[in-house]
Amino acid sequence: MSSFSYSSSNSGSNGFTAPGATEIITMSDDSHNATATGTFTSDTSGKGLFEFRRVSNQVHLSGMYIAKKCPAVDSCRNIYSTFHQSKCVEGYYPVGSERVYHCVDYLCHHKLGKWAIVNFEGGSIMGWGYGCNLRTQRNNGTDSILCVYRPDPTIEPTQGPSPSPSTNPTGLLS
């Protein structure tokens, strides 16, 4: 979960509590960086109540990104950053936002250089020298992108019709 509190003026600190967590103080400002990130557990119906406590003059909530629990680190290991190349090599595809949000810590500390700025589908990520910041916009100052291996899902066609076709080709009826 990531929350964003953008304020071009009247920035300030306010309380934020995610389900099952203790309150933290967030600071709204004029950056596009997340003001809070972390995990939470929804209730049995899949819902979660987020609480905001006004401390300063205003509470700003510009957006919230919620995704399923982080995938295993193995799913982050097959992501790579191109170096000054705006396209992925054959067999690799641009990484989407959800996967980057799940893998941000691993990517920042194991895949990106200290001062790296790398685009992905839906934004950009900055290396640990910049504090591992995520942006919701692509950075026009870099050609580098995050790519992930994805095998071609095409199925090899048969050479001709089968002499004894199955009446249950998927095996779902057995």
Domain ranges of the chain: 1-66, 74-149
Count of CA atoms in the C-beta half-sphere (13 A) of 92: 17
Mention every residue, 6+ apart, whose C-beta is less than 8 A from residue 124.
Answer: 117, 118, 134, 135, 137, 138, 139, 142
pLDDT given for residue 158 in this prediction: 46
- pLDDT by residue, tens only, the chain of 174 residues: 656 566 667 778 888 888 888 888 888 777 767 777 777 777 777 788 888 888 888 777 777 777 665 445 557 888 888 888 888 888 888 888 888 888 888 888 888 889 999 999 889 999 989 998 899 999 988 889 999 876 544 444 444 444 555 554 444 444
pLDDT given for residue 124 in this prediction: 93
Asked if 78 and 111 touch (Cβ cutoff 8 Å), the reply is no
* Closest-CA residue to 53 (of 36, 33, 31): 36
Q: What pTM was computed for the model?
A: 0.46
Asked if 100 and 88 touch (Cβ cutoff 8 Å), the reply is no
Q: Which residues pair with 96 in a beta bridge?
A: 121
Q: Which CATH class is domain 74-149?
A: alpha beta
Residues 136 and 9: their CA atoms lie apart, in Å, by 20
